[in-house]
Amino acid sequence: MTRRWLIRIGLTAAVWLGAAFPQTPQQTSAPVIIAVSGDVSTPLTLKAEDLAVMPREKAKIPEQDGTEVEYEGVPLREILKRAGAPIGKLRGKALTTYVVAKAHDGYQVVFTLGEIDPEFGNDQILVADKRDGKALFGYQGPLRLVCPQDKAGARSVRMLEALEVVKLQK
Amino acid sequence: MRRRTLHSLAAGAVFAVAMYAATNIRLRAAESEQNSYRWNLPKGFPIPYVPADNPMSEAKVELGRYLFYDARLSVNGKQSCASCHKQELAFTDGRAVGIGATGESHSRGAMSLVNVAWSGALTWNNPTMKNLEEQALVPMFGEHPIELGLRRDGGFAQWARSDAIYLDLFPYAFPDAGDPYTIPNVTKALACFERNIVSARSAYDRYHYGGDDSAVSESAKRGEVLFFDQRLSCFRCHGGFNFTDSTVSERNPNRTLEFHNTGLYNAPGLYSYPPPNVGIFEYTKAPEDVGKFKAPTLRNIAVTAPYMHDGSIPTLEGVIEHYAAGGKNGHDNPNKDPLIAGFTISAQGKADLIAFLQSLTDAAVLHDARFGDPWRRE
């Protein structure tokens, strides 16, 4: 009887504590996947597990309220390098290469390889999957671009789905 | 009496703490650079811009609340600010257009006062009206139309001095003033009360800022994605934490404000919008400004029907249909914003978008005693 009562009390306490301190559920989101296609030697499809083991960087971005948020993800240049884009080898006609970043809703923006190549612009542009340590969700994610060097935010594509590399002069 | 006032302030503070603690929003106690008033703002909300000559104070907020609900501030004692700005309707009045104390109709609807502290433009179509202290004079003394219908020589100071509550509150709010019973002090207190009406506790806030996945429905989550979809582009005019593009803050007080012609009308004749509602053209006199109005905050939009500057669309569904059509009656208005390009949306998409807009309703702000009628208790 005593043991049964102890179990009852324990269960009641667990239920009470669970109600008093509910776990914050993780936001649900679409599966992480990004395709790299176009004028590259190795077209790719990267999933969450691929992005997790690639070189990762963080970037702090000021918010409207004056605070900063920290995005984390894989540098765009690393993804393009893996697909065989001429990052680090930009010479001659290769300098006419650009990448089109495409979002789920059809939104598109363009970056030249020269902007992100370490020997030229060397801009840090991230394909981010985390914001302040949490997976991106809702209209932001599951992947988005983060462009800390841009003054306006319009190239920080939300709901990023695909990267298409285009070489103008072949 | 002062003790009662202090008790009411203390009770308000306790209530505020309890309400915030009840939500799953991380609070950020922020101190303005301009004064020591503490804004309890959640993450994502910047400190509002406050004019240097009217710093926030709890005493002014409380005085402003009494004045806001005081019908003696109208020509015939029939209306107060709250007559057109009802708390339970997110400080709107449920009418297509406002009606003043003498029964005269306004040509536009009463705007919500929720989060007005971040509002760069305070009216539907006056780009120069940026200051709450100045704006309060329009409903108080304006004659076209008559709203509260006060007269400058209406004897305000006499009756205010004869009221025991104001005898307490005015000197408390303006301790350095030789004569605190002045109209500029009335507008300062009203402005402080209005700036203090912060809506940040909606289901969407708990979901987006608080990390509570169960705070909104799956339909609302789909609606959020649609809202931020490039094809619909709702967020382009109703973006940011306050879902409007007229947001200013302490860090960014002088932002360039946008006004939009949404293709509501395309009337023949001199103006494409029916006068007197010709948009910011009324002030700029630039022909391309005919029909341009402010994009109001969408926070609590589900309780502020009817919609648009003249209340001509009764439901949110009607508003979505208007934008989906690229502007119905005014589809071909030459001043129409290129963003009003139209889109296709399924019945489910429409329902999802409405569910998202409903998730912006902050039940707490609609019932918070700190924003309610203080005279009821007296």
Return the minimum-mean-pLDDT range out of A1-15, A72-86, A108-122, B274-288: A1-15
pLDDT for the residue B330: 93
Give the tokens for residue B144.
């076209």
Q: Please check whether residue A40 lies inside any domain of the structure.
A: yes
Confidence check: pLDDT of A149 > 70? yes
Contact B240 A63 (CB under 8 A): no
Cα B89 to Cα B182: distance, rounded to the nearest angstrom: 30
Q: Please check whether residue A94 lies inside any domain of the structure.
A: yes
Confidence check: pLDDT of B266 > 90? yes
pLDDT for the residue A83: 97
Cα B101 to Cα A165: distance, rounded to the nearest angstrom: 65
| Nearest residue of B to residue A64, measured between CA atoms | B46
Confidence of residue B7 (pLDDT cuts 50, 70, 90): low
B305-316 per-position pLDDT tens digit: 999 999 999 999
Cα B142 to Cα B152: distance, rounded to the nearest angstrom: 11
CA distance A146 to chain B (A): 17
B49-94 per-position pLDDT tens digit: 999 999 999 999 999 999 999 999 998 889 999 999 999 999 999 9
Q: Count the domains in chain A.
A: 1
Mean pLDDT of the B347-364 span: 97
Q: Please check whether residue A5 lies inside any domain of the structure.
A: no
Closest CA to A62 of A128, A150, A121, A130: A150
Q: What is the CA radius of gyration of chain A?
A: 22
Mean pLDDT of the B262-270 span: 94
CATH (domain of A73): 3.90.420.10
Global pTM reads 0.85
Domain containing residue A94: 27-167
In B17-118, DSSP assigns E strands to 27-31, 38-42
Q: Please check whether residue A119 lies inside any domain of the structure.
A: yes
Confidence check: pLDDT of B234 > 90? yes
Percent of chain A clearing pLDDT 90 (strictly above): 74
Number of A/B CB contacts below 8 angstroms equals 57
pLDDT for the residue A29: 61
Q: Please check whether residue A7 lies inside any domain of the structure.
A: no
Query: Would an 8 Å CB–CB cutoff place A135 in contact with chain B?
Result: no
pLDDT for the residue A10: 47
Please give the mean pLDDT across all residues of chain B: 89
Contact A64 B231 (CB under 8 A): no
CA distance A23 to chain B (A): 9
B123-156 per-position pLDDT tens digit: 999 999 999 999 999 999 988 899 998 888 778 8
pLDDT for the residue A36: 97
**Centroid of chain to Cα B183:** 22
Q: Please check whether residue A109 lies inside any domain of the structure.
A: yes
Confidence of residue B164 (pLDDT cuts 50, 70, 90): very high
A57-77 per-position pLDDT tens digit: 999 998 777 778 999 999 999
A139 vs B47, B224, B249: nearest CB: B224
Question: Are B213 and B87 a contacting pair, CB within 8 Å?
Answer: no
A139 vs B43, B228, B240: nearest CB: B228
Cα B222 to Cα A104: distance, rounded to the nearest angstrom: 13
pLDDT for the residue B24: 37
Output the CA angle B8-B88-B131, nearest 5 degrees.
75
B contact test, residue of A105, A108, A159, A160 with most B CBs within 10 A: A105
Mean pLDDT of the B229-256 span: 92
Mean pLDDT of the A6-32 span: 48
Q: Please check whether residue A6 lies inside any domain of the structure.
A: no
- Residues of chain A in contact with residue B227, where contact means CB-CB under 8 angstroms, are 139
A28 vs B24, B41, B213: nearest CB: B213
Please give the mean pLDDT across all residues of chain A: 86
Mean pLDDT of the A28-46 span: 89
A105 vs B45, B213, B230: nearest CB: B230
B contact test, residue of A29, A61, A65 with most B CBs within 10 A: A65
Q: Please check whether residue A2 lies inside any domain of the structure.
A: no
A106 vs B41, B207, B231: nearest CB: B231
Cα A19 to Cα A135: distance, rounded to the nearest angstrom: 25
Return the minimum-mean-pLDDT range out of A132-141, B27-36, B248-257: B27-36
